[in-house]
Amino acid sequence: MDIETQLRAALAEREAAGLLRRLRVTETPRPFASNDYLGLARHPRLVAAAQEAAGRYGAGSTASRHVCGNLPVHAALDEALAVFKRREAALAFSSGYAAALGTIPALVGKGDAVLLDKLSHASLIDGARLSGATLRVFPHNHLAALEKLLTTEAARARRILIVTEAVFSMDGDTAPLREIVALKDRFDGKAWLLVDEAHATGVFGPGGRGLAAELGLEGKIEVEMGTLSKALGSSGGFIAGSRLLVDTLVNHARSAIYSTAPNPASCGAALEALALVGEAEGEARRKRLWGAIHRFAAGTSLPAQSPIFPLLCGTEEQALTASARLAEQSLVLPAIRYPTVPRGKARLRVSLTADTPLAEIERLLALL
Ligand SMILES: *Cc1c(COP(=O)(O)O)cnc(C)c1O
């Protein structure tokens, strides 16, 4: 069979299973579908900062950080991220995906082990696979299983990297970070912890500094990952931690070394967002967001854990039907299907933002 026939057959198979994805053009903001939790992506201050950075540094960075692409705006962003996370150093990447893909293989390889929460984001799974380390998956948030894996792997692996998320992207629940830190600390520095705060940055903790900050774990997690693309309204990813960690990434993270430095406009916007989240306006936006979260939780009897609510539908077909019926009422709730979530766990994923109108929340609750 020729390649074209094979590719057509694979897509037809997906379509028959209700799993075909198509890109749709979205022009207006979607109140229940975006990850723009603080409503900053269209904020005039961020837009102006992006324009200003583009005007000053250009539309592109022209080269990787190591060649001539490391502009003042990148140095300022790295520094601002380190200050924001209260760590020695930080490094911004072009995306959260690139941060994961570069960082995990920079820290572990053959002879090492990565212990990964079962519900971890694709970028973390891909980074772990790329590293060549032994990949061990523990059931979601299962501390006893993690402890067992740690004990087994400590006997044979050179290094262990535990990988989890602060807020899980498709379920909206949080990780027991205090307990995981305590477990990891029993292994005398042979086990490090990477926490991806993609959905917690800007949303949790004092000044929006994340879930680790909220739980009093500042400085206790070796590898703090986040994205600039969600609550911070820009695009890019970052890692914060010790100077040694960042020096290691500068030398070994291939997604940073062999890729053009992050876009100046995105960096300018991210810098403005970092300032804004710490100000009274950021506080007010977080307050509005949490008000929306509590209202939606009360209306659905789901726990108010984060801006993300999974409305489980069961089959892929049921999720698509529910999504289509809400779309008729001009409510866009994406149907999340396999392979993003396990088979039989298809869902509508509701994400709330500080700008979601309360009247829209009431309308959605009534329709549900
Ligand atoms: C969105 C997301 C990423 C990727 O971040 P981008 O900046 O969009 O590439 C990584 N991890 C998690 C948990 C995410 O939800």
Residue 248 to residue 311: CA distance in whole angstroms: 41
**Is residue 318 located within the same domain as residue 227?**
no
- Residue 326 neighbours by CB under 8 Å, 6+ apart: 332, 333, 348, 364, 367
- Among residues 246, 277, 308, the one where a domain terminates is 277
- Give residue 366 CA to ligand 1 midpoint distance, Å: 31
Find the catalytic residue in 184, 199, 222, 323.
Answer: 199
- Residue 163 neighbours by CB under 8 Å, 6+ apart: 104, 114, 115, 116, 117, 120, 124, 128, 193, 194, 196
Letter for the amino acid at 166? A
Strand segments, DSSP code E, in the chain are 89-93, 113-117, 134-138, 160-165, 191-196, 223-227, 237-241, 308-314, 335-336, 346-351
Residue with tokens 């990565």: 114
Is 165 tagged catalytic?
A: yes
Backbone angles phi, psi at 226, to 5 degrees: -155, 175
Is 140 tagged catalytic?
A: no
Backbone angles phi, psi at 92, to 5 degrees: -90, 140
- Give residue 150 CA to ligand 1 midpoint distance, Å: 26
pLDDT value for 3: 97
Q: For every one of its 368 residues, what pLDDT tens digit does the chain have, with 9 covering 90 and above?
A: 999 999 999 999 999 988 888 888 887 777 898 999 999 999 999 999 999 999 999 999 999 999 999 999 999 999 999 999 999 999 999 999 999 999 999 999 999 999 999 999 999 999 999 999 999 999 999 999 999 999 999 999 999 999 999 999 999 999 999 999 999 999 999 999 999 999 999 999 999 999 999 999 999 999 999 999 999 999 999 999 999 999 999 999 999 999 999 999 999 999 999 999 999 999 999 999 999 999 999 999 999 999 999 999 989 889 999 999 999 998 989 889 888 888 889 999 999 999 999 999 999 999 98
CATH, residue 100: 3.40.640.10
pLDDT value for 340: 87
pLDDT value for 18: 82
Letter for the amino acid at 337? R
| Atom from ligand 1 closest to the CA of residue 121 | 13
Find the catalytic residue in 78, 117, 165, 355.
Answer: 165
- Give residue 121 CA to ligand 1 midpoint distance, Å: 7
pLDDT value for 160: 98
Closest CA to 134 of 116, 154, 153, 114: 114
Pocket probe mutation, ligand 1, options 103, 164, 229, 341, max atoms within 8 Å of Cβ: 229
Residue 25 to residue 63: CA distance in whole angstroms: 31
pLDDT value for 344: 87
Q: Which residues line ligand 1 (CB under 6 A)?
A: 95-97, 100, 121, 123, 165, 169, 196, 198-199, 227, 229, 237
Closest CA to 11 of 19, 3, 342: 19
pTM of structure:
0.96
Q: How many domains does the chain have?
A: 2
205 Rama class: left (phi>0) / alpha (psi -120 to 50) / beta: left
CATH, residue 309: 3.90.1150.10
Radius of gyration, alpha carbons of the chain: 21
Structural domain for 315, as ranges: 29-40+280-367
Asked if the structure places residue 304 within a domain, the reply is yes
- Among residues 254, 277, 300, the one where a domain terminates is 277
Residue 294 to residue 285: CA distance in whole angstroms: 14
**Is residue 230 located within the same domain as residue 288?**
no
**Is residue 166 located within the same domain as residue 311?**
no
pLDDT value for 19: 85
- Among residues 242, 277, 312, the one where a domain terminates is 277
Residue 128 to residue 115: CA distance in whole angstroms: 9
- Give residue 138 CA to ligand 1 midpoint distance, Å: 21
Is 263 tagged catalytic?
A: no
- Give residue 230 CA to ligand 1 midpoint distance, Å: 8
- Tell me the H-state helices in 132-200: 143-154, 177-184
